[in-house]
Amino acid sequence: MDTVRATFNVNTPLFMSGAKQTKAEIRAPSIKGVIRFWWRALHYAELGTLSALKTREEELFGSTKKQSCVRFAIESRSTQLAIASPTSTPAWLRGKKGCVYLGYGVINVKEKLEHPYIQPNRSFTLRIASKDEIDPSIINAVKLFGLIGGAGARSRKGYGSVTLVDLQKNGKKIPCPQDPESYGTELNSLLSQTKNFSLPDEHSFTAFSSASRIDVLLTGTDPTAILNNYGETMQLYRSWGREARGRHELPTGKKAEQNFKDDHDWFKNEHSFRSENPDFHPERALFGLPHNYFKHVPNGYPLKSNVEPAENSLERRASPLFFHVHKLADKSYIGVSIVLPSLFLPGTKEQISADGKPVNLVENNYHVLTNFLEGTRGHRNAKTEKSYFPERQPIWPAREEQ
């Protein structure tokens, strides 16, 4: 029996449950699903076509018609559970508006949890077993999951981030990165086959290619502080703010930058914006769909506008921007961004339904994400010299390749 054991540290609160939603647990099928995701993202470049990728994935992981050649099980865990309470706020969440912003759906605006979670600094061991030799590509996907991945709800926003701290194959240790240098080296080694790969124009799911990028944005000793910093920065960049004390403010009390004035004017229909710009859709669609816009009406129900995929078969489109909080051997942490561009909306046409009206998606609009990662604070027409992420360091492609 060929066996791989991978131990992961939970770095940020992990929201995962089974059939019983009031109980948090690490579930082997969920972890297997995440590893399959990273396997596809990593190996599309190698296999070249979607059909070849699908065939190979089913050979390794199984399908509804074929049993998997490997078995996944959670072998051991030290996961102390915290039950969500509508009457209390955990210490790590108090005053952290950025964590609230990133936790939409599992945390409400009053800083109350809506789902149970697994506390940070707990660990679990995944056991992968096969009667035949385990394919090296599966081990590489496990590594990638433990370098830039997460599990559970809101994992693309940094919740449920994990670090691979121990990896063994048949009892023999496989080295894991311990510091920023070895972390970058390992990622560049895993992704080397994808750096010259261009996604086909019709390619519509997440995979590494020559257009992808990985950056270290933040460093620190408190993982939830890193998560909060990222969330507050994203809200500063994206949000219009609410009117208070003669200005528009964010939940943090900071003045809103209001970088996306056209998005605001489209919703409010300021200065007949919609009639003069009939094919407009909000630029911030690249942060994921749907968007819900609300206009408060005195003594009435809020008015709502939806921005969502126009294709009837699609309800949502996750953002191609991921965030991961990674623990290093010296107990420090780094906040890592991952951008995986692809065809944003599959179907006969890339169209967005903007308040019920189908409009064509603006092409090559990834500048919205680039400006966030590389831009400087202040309104886009009046920038300061202070970067959103002054510590930013490119990890992949490596600096010498850029």
User: For 158-194, what is each residue's pLDDT tens digit?
Assistant: 999 999 999 999 999 999 999 999 999 999 999 998 8
Higher pLDDT, 380 or 329: 329
Give me 20's structure tokens. 């019983």
Question: Could you tell me the pTM of the whole model?
Answer: 0.93
Model confidence band, residue 301 (pLDDT cutoffs 50, 70, 90): low
Confidence at residue 313, expressed as pLDDT on a 0 to 100 scale = 73
Model confidence band, residue 364 (pLDDT cutoffs 50, 70, 90): low
385 has a pLDDT exceeding 80:
no
Q: Which residue from 370, 374, 369, 399 is spatially nearest to 386, judged by alpha carbons? A: 374
Q: How many whole angstroms separate alpha carbon 340 and alpha carbon 338?
A: 7
The helix (run of H) or strand (run of E) holding residue 28 is helix 28-47
**115-152 per-position pLDDT tens digit:** 999 999 999 999 999 999 999 999 999 999 999 999 99
Q: How many whole angstroms separate alpha carbon 168 and alpha carbon 192?
A: 23
Model confidence band, residue 213 (pLDDT cutoffs 50, 70, 90): very high
Average pLDDT over residues 375-393: 79
Model confidence band, residue 11 (pLDDT cutoffs 50, 70, 90): very high
Confidence at residue 345, expressed as pLDDT on a 0 to 100 scale = 79
Residue 302: Cβ within 10 Å count: 10
Confidence at residue 85, expressed as pLDDT on a 0 to 100 scale = 67
Confidence at residue 71, expressed as pLDDT on a 0 to 100 scale = 96
Residue whose pair of structure tokens reads 């004035």 in the numeric block: 261
Rounded mean pLDDT of the chain?
89
203 has a pLDDT exceeding 70:
no
User: Which domains does the chain possess?
Assistant: 2-77+122-176 (3.30.70), 214-401 (no CATH)
**15-73 per-position pLDDT tens digit:** 998 888 888 899 999 999 999 999 999 999 999 888 999 999 999 999 888 888 899 99
Residue whose pair of structure tokens reads 């680039």 in the numeric block: 370
Q: How far apart are the first and last CA of the chain?
A: 44
174-179: list long-range contacts, CB under 8 Å, 24+ apart: 174/139, 176/146, 177/147, 178/328, 178/329, 179/328, 179/329, 179/330
Q: How many whole angstroms separate alpha carbon 341 and alpha carbon 262?
A: 24
Poorest-confidence range of 56-70, 83-97, 251-265, 289-303?
289-303
Q: How many residues are recorded in the chain?
A: 402
Confidence at residue 40, expressed as pLDDT on a 0 to 100 scale = 96
Q: Are 362 and 279 in contact (CB under 8 A)?
A: no
Q: Which residues pair with 216 in a beta bridge?
A: 336, 393
What is the phi/psi pair of residue 17, to 5°? Answer: -140, 165
Q: Are 45 and 208 in contact (CB under 8 A)?
A: yes
**221-232 per-position pLDDT tens digit:** 999 999 999 999
Distance, CA of 24 to chain centre: 20
383 has a pLDDT exceeding 60:
no
Average pLDDT over residues 202-227: 91
Q: Which amino acid is at 332?
A: S
Confidence at residue 306, expressed as pLDDT on a 0 to 100 scale = 81
Model confidence band, residue 295 (pLDDT cutoffs 50, 70, 90): low
Q: How many whole angstroms separate alpha carbon 26 and alpha carbon 118?
A: 8
Q: Which residue from 397, 402, 401 is spatially nearest to 187, judged by alpha carbons? A: 397
Q: Please, what sign has the CA dihedral across residues 320, 366, 208, 10? A: negative
Confidence at residue 401, expressed as pLDDT on a 0 to 100 scale = 53
82 has a pLDDT exceeding 70:
no
The helix (run of H) or strand (run of E) holding residue 29 is helix 28-47
